[in-house]
Structure 1
């Protein structure tokens, strides 16, 4: 979390709003002001009504007290989060992050994709382990809270949880700021990014105590390490903050660099006591019951029986309040028992009460009687090193401000727990605004460059205009002279070259036709069909409709030698493609031919027009195949007539193209094959027409492709 010099901590309670403003400077830590305002809504108000009242109260407090601080840390109820303490193997930052996310997926009871996961890492007494405080919240809950925060109009630098803020607010009284001051190079200003003494990190410092889910910089790690250097707790404390709608519990772990050992939010609070009094006394409104609770209600403890003047209290209200307190104390007792039952759990030495509802008469003594542990009411700040205004002296009651103080301490960077649920986009803006000095310097540098560049550009522009004027004057003086004649001659030559280029461009055709066609063949080929050879022939070689070549000595044999001229009757826009291959079944071959045939009339922009596709011939019997082993296969030859409507199918450019003719597939012996010339009748098939010496030969030579799928 980013640290600032002055920060607000606002506790958005359901009964009242508490605000604490703190500052951290060279003079130390100071509490500037603490304010509280009661919300003018009852417990049965809708969430929208409560939010509207909260926004109005905060804006009114800021305006009335002329508060100029904009940085604020707020908190969400502890009941909205999932919390676990886990121990993991010690690892480096990125590796440890992956391990924590994997563990979170196993622990969190709702989808990780809809969850915001934050964590904080603490060192343990074991060299190979670290302790991780894993906290998760539903994303939609966080988004709903952020809508309220935006309406307040302040600049949030952190979003915490009530139970974690309670720990920071109570734990601040145990921090020795003088020790931190001396370790920071003199003065608490070192906490704000000043010059610090460099120290060599040990192996245990690799993870860094207090490392959050987003990571912390070196300054944060040093400060948090300093916080860990506070002398070990002499006693294990359980902090219990009784609010209006819920009660937060945070238990400290003993030892050097102590962290939180257990946190929980109990859904019982002061409003439940007020509602019980309203019902028991038959009061009409919640406000009347609240007044009765404050003025004439106490818990029926042993001290009450011996010390209190019962005539000053309403016994029905006292009885109703005691019943609710019994339920609350039972839940606190369960929480302490759970902490003790953990492998590293120990007995709690003292319970510290705070919160507005903790002021209920004789409640502290009653809790001590029921739990059997000493109980204190945290009504003082508890740390003389924190300076306060005169109005917040020893007589000021801090009981209701522990969470607000903990939030402000987290914003100043002196809180031990730094889990932050501020959304990533807001966090990026916060980090960016923290670097406004560097950004302002960069803007100033760019502005200076633009200014001097514009001055240089203006000077260059003036020189250009002067040169242009001289050139125009020279041209006007020599309009009818030699220069004009040379210009005319050059323009004439340019026109001649452009006309020749236009003629040549008509002969230059795209060279990717065959690649497009082969791509089309590949897309049409079934999975269980093997292509062994493809021969592409444009008609400038004189391919006849029957498949013979005009340049060869005899039909089906290789053509004439290279150097055959382009026949005048040939059509360079059309050609023949021979496709040889094998398949396990004849219907697979027929499907392939059908797919090729269906491409007739393809869109012109594809430039792949198939005029006709024919199964020219195929082997009469299935034979052993290396590709389809152990299954036999049927060998085939397909003839495809293609045409390019946009240009010719020449593969080289010349006024009279000379190409080496390609050997076409030989026609098999009559009655030895099946195919188009035999009507496709399988009974007319004979031997294999694709093997040498058996009535035919494989196509070879010329442009094509070898075996492939």
Structure 2
């Protein structure tokens, strides 16, 4: 790995190779010093049909190495923004230590490829708040790039013998430049999300694309616009019937053309398209960030020098557009007087941002360099030490061998040989006995495992039946006789009944790590919070269990260990009278409480006698209302339930036969009942316990209770004596 204190930022663009060599300022931490630079323009633009990109880049790198010394320096490169993926995700309040697990889950959702096929990294953005190791509304930047594109970006540098240590997306390199060079003072002020500082807009016009970066120093938003400097050249080539090379020359010297007006007229559609894309992008940014205010607008890239472009953008954006003439926090020294550097300073911003990151001063320090490459370089760097260590070990072994041979030759007598032979026989006999012991032990383990499997199969076949019986026992019921019940809204909404319409389950290798660690905060909030007014979901809406939770490596809840199931029950109830318990409160005080504290009759007693077994002893833990929906109106007709389809019509017809007291013939009396229905979802963990395990749990509990009673009695006796 590189050991020097200088770094190279290399931006391999479509038109030229730009490179800066910088080091940290000796006294000013907010300054960098330029030690060297290079600007190598290709003979042709890489996207021209007749161009050979690999050959042109290889030639540029060969020329770069012939003019610059990079041994011992770190190297950072940029890749085009459209080659990678950038997502900025706002997370809900969460423990800081759980952010990596949540980001990994989000990466699976946000990245449209398998994680094995991409190189990805993330970083939590600054500006958020944290209390008691609990992040409040943190925002995370997630960045990814396909492995084959990373390999394609690294190949020309590897072929040239350049070891790259940082790979960064070009828009993020521009963001790091802006934060370090222009927004340093803002970072010293506290961040107020309700009144953020003005956002700086950076328009970085490249050869084929334009990177639009909007940042206030704390938050960043970027978009890639598929219009660049080459589009002006193509417009000239098409309208004026010129070759690409002549059109490029004419574009760069537009003011000296025979007919400048015709030149600008030919490029005008590209001006309009670029402006429209910038306006549309800024409009979208303002729509997603209502508090954002646009401040400075900065233009980067040599295409900005196109006559009239800067003024055209400023007039139509109604905002001054400033082209960079120098870098505020970059001490260029003698380099600043070089004509090539001054002519191309607009194109050095990405390379500047790469140097800022390589020197450890960047706001976003993510790195898309594959870990296997870093590992290979570490091994390669340690090879000389490994060879030296191996040589030292061999020398020590040789010396040890010589001393042992010398000692062995002095003790090689007949008596020693006889003693060694006797020892060998004893060792052989001991080995035979050990082999027999190991074989007997293995046979015992096999028989023991077979016996345990047979017992577990006998007991385990009842687990699901016992679970179903326990759930049934925990459900509240209307204990009145059927004839005492009335088909009225008042009666139905006073019945202590919960109805289950579906039961789903999902198996986890570790319930604590893969389920509870993700829902613990939700469980604590919903299980022990006050009565909720209903969730945000539509009535009846339900998501599959698999989509609720992803993998996690965080610690789980107490009482759960090893594999198990998460059971999900889709339920509803009508117990929603205004003057009593309703909605989630009714569920918690009945069903959930019974799952936690109730019992179920199971044949766990002597001679399979039915006894009350705590439901928790079955391995049921952490039940709670995971999802609750708003109350919905439901119209219910008793006749339809009793008489079936058409029952209401037949009942009306039967009444009309009597004449007196009935309604007019052909009319039917409405018996509709309007109820309020509460739909909800219950989840709990289930780590099945066999009958034998439940007996052990009961015995341990009884022993603990007996010990507590003895301790209390002893304490009472001691008090009486005193």
- What is the TM-score when the length of structure 2 is the normalising length? 0.52
- Separation (CA, whole Å) in 1 of partners of 2:424 and 2:154: 70
1:241: how far off? 0.8
Alignment of 1:569-648 (within 5 A): none
Q: Does 1:138 align with 2:149?
A: no
| Aligned partner of 2:406 among 446, 462, 466 | 462
Deviates most, 75-84 or 440-449 = 440-449
| Aligned partner of 1:413 among 322, 335, 360 | 360
- Separation (CA, whole Å) in 1 of partners of 2:8 and 2:168: 13
1:27: how far off? 5.5
1:294: how far off? 0.4
Report the counterpart of residue 280 of structure 2 in structure 1.
Answer: 334
- Separation (CA, whole Å) in 2 of partners of 1:111 and 1:104: 10
Report the counterpart of residue 163 of structure 1 in structure 2.
Answer: 171
Q: Does 1:293 align with 2:245?
A: no
1:342: how far off? 2.1
1:260: how far off? 4.0
Alignment of 1:249-264 (within 5 A): 249-253=212-216, 258-264=217-223
Q: Which runs of 5+ in 1 are unaligned?
A: 180-226, 298-308, 476-482, 529-625, 628-709
1:175: how far off? 6.5
Please state which structure has a larger fraction of its residues in helix.
2
Q: Does 1:314 align with 2:272?
A: no
1:379: how far off? 2.5
- Separation (CA, whole Å) in 2 of partners of 1:351 and 1:105: 35
- Separation (CA, whole Å) in 2 of partners of 1:400 and 1:357: 9
Distance 1:103 1:405, change over 3 A: same
Q: Is the Cα contact below 8 Å between 2:3 and 2:72 reproduced in 1?
A: no
| Aligned partner of 2:371 among 421, 424, 433 | 424
- Separation (CA, whole Å) in 2 of partners of 1:88 and 1:71: 34
The alignment partner of 1:89 has SS state of: coil
1:243: how far off? 0.7
The alignment partner of 1:315 has SS state of: helix
Q: Does 1:49 align with 2:52?
A: yes
Alignment of 1:545-560 (within 5 A): none
Q: Is the Cα contact below 8 Å between 2:173 and 2:353 reproduced in 1?
A: yes
1:457: how far off? 5.0
- Separation (CA, whole Å) in 2 of partners of 1:85 and 1:498: 69
The alignment partner of 1:150 has SS state of: helix
1:252: how far off? 1.1
Q: Is the Cα contact below 8 Å between 2:46 and 2:52 reproduced in 1?
A: no
Q: Is the Cα contact below 8 Å between 2:127 and 2:218 reproduced in 1?
A: no
**1:108-146 deviations in Å (ceiling 9; x for gaps):** 344445333322102335541211112233333333333
Q: Is the Cα contact below 8 Å between 1:76 and 1:161 reproduced in 2?
A: yes
Report the counterpart of residue 210 of structure 2 in structure 1.
Answer: 247
Distance 1:67 1:100, change over 3 A: closer
**1:11-30 deviations in Å (ceiling 9; x for gaps):** 11111111111123636621
- Separation (CA, whole Å) in 2 of partners of 1:425 and 1:42: 33
Q: Is the Cα contact below 8 Å between 1:4 and 1:411 reproduced in 2?
A: no
The alignment partner of 1:263 has SS state of: strand
Report the counterpart of residue 580 of structure 1 in structure 2.
Answer: none
Report the counterpart of residue 172 of structure 1 in structure 2.
Answer: 180
Distance 1:374 1:264, change over 3 A: same
Distance 1:34 1:231, change over 3 A: farther
| Aligned partner of 2:80 among 71, 77, 80 | 77
- Separation (CA, whole Å) in 2 of partners of 1:123 and 1:513: 62
- Separation (CA, whole Å) in 2 of partners of 1:492 and 1:19: 78
Q: Is the Cα contact below 8 Å between 1:5 and 1:25 reproduced in 2?
A: no
The alignment partner of 1:167 has SS state of: helix
Alignment of 1:647-686 (within 5 A): none
Report the counterpart of residue 478 of structure 1 in structure 2.
Answer: none
The alignment partner of 2:106 has SS state of: helix
1:351: how far off? 1.1
Report the counterpart of residue 120 of structure 2 in structure 1.
Answer: 117
The alignment partner of 2:253 has SS state of: helix
Distance 1:93 1:423, change over 3 A: farther
Report the counterpart of residue 615 of structure 1 in structure 2.
Answer: none
Q: Is the Cα contact below 8 Å between 1:82 and 1:137 reproduced in 2?
A: yes
1:66: how far off? 4.2
1:292: how far off? 0.4
Q: Is the Cα contact below 8 Å between 1:239 and 1:250 reproduced in 2?
A: yes
- Separation (CA, whole Å) in 1 of partners of 2:205 and 2:111: 27
Report the counterpart of residue 540 of structure 2 in structure 1.
Answer: none
Report the counterpart of residue 191 of structure 1 in structure 2.
Answer: none
- Separation (CA, whole Å) in 2 of partners of 1:156 and 1:89: 36
Q: Is the Cα contact below 8 Å between 1:8 and 1:73 reproduced in 2?
A: yes
- Separation (CA, whole Å) in 2 of partners of 1:513 and 1:124: 64
The alignment partner of 1:366 has SS state of: helix
Report the counterpart of residue 372 of structure 1 in structure 2.
Answer: 318
Report the counterpart of residue 12 of structure 2 in structure 1.
Answer: 12
| Aligned partner of 1:35 among 38, 43, 47 | 38
The alignment partner of 2:172 has SS state of: helix
Q: Which runs of 5+ in 2 are unaligned?
A: 131-135, 459-606, 609-722
**1:399-425 deviations in Å (ceiling 9; x for gaps):** 111111111221111222212111111
Report the counterpart of residue 347 of structure 2 in structure 1.
Answer: 400
Aligned length in residues = 445
Q: Is the Cα contact below 8 Å between 2:301 and 2:347 reproduced in 1?
A: yes
The alignment partner of 2:246 has SS state of: helix
Alignment of 1:522-561 (within 5 A): none
1:64: how far off? 2.7
1:171: how far off? 3.0
- Separation (CA, whole Å) in 2 of partners of 1:358 and 1:450: 65
- Separation (CA, whole Å) in 2 of partners of 1:417 and 1:512: 57
- Separation (CA, whole Å) in 1 of partners of 2:129 and 2:421: 89
Q: Is the Cα contact below 8 Å between 2:125 and 2:219 reproduced in 1?
A: no
The alignment partner of 1:425 has SS state of: helix
- Separation (CA, whole Å) in 2 of partners of 1:84 and 1:493: 72
Distance 1:175 1:296, change over 3 A: closer
Report the counterpart of residue 354 of structure 1 in structure 2.
Answer: 300
Q: Is the Cα contact below 8 Å between 1:379 and 1:397 reproduced in 2?
A: no
1:322: how far off? 2.1
- Separation (CA, whole Å) in 2 of partners of 1:30 and 1:413: 14
Q: Is the Cα contact below 8 Å between 1:30 and 1:388 reproduced in 2?
A: no
Distance 1:159 1:93, change over 3 A: farther
Report the counterpart of residue 199 of structure 2 in structure 1.
Answer: 236
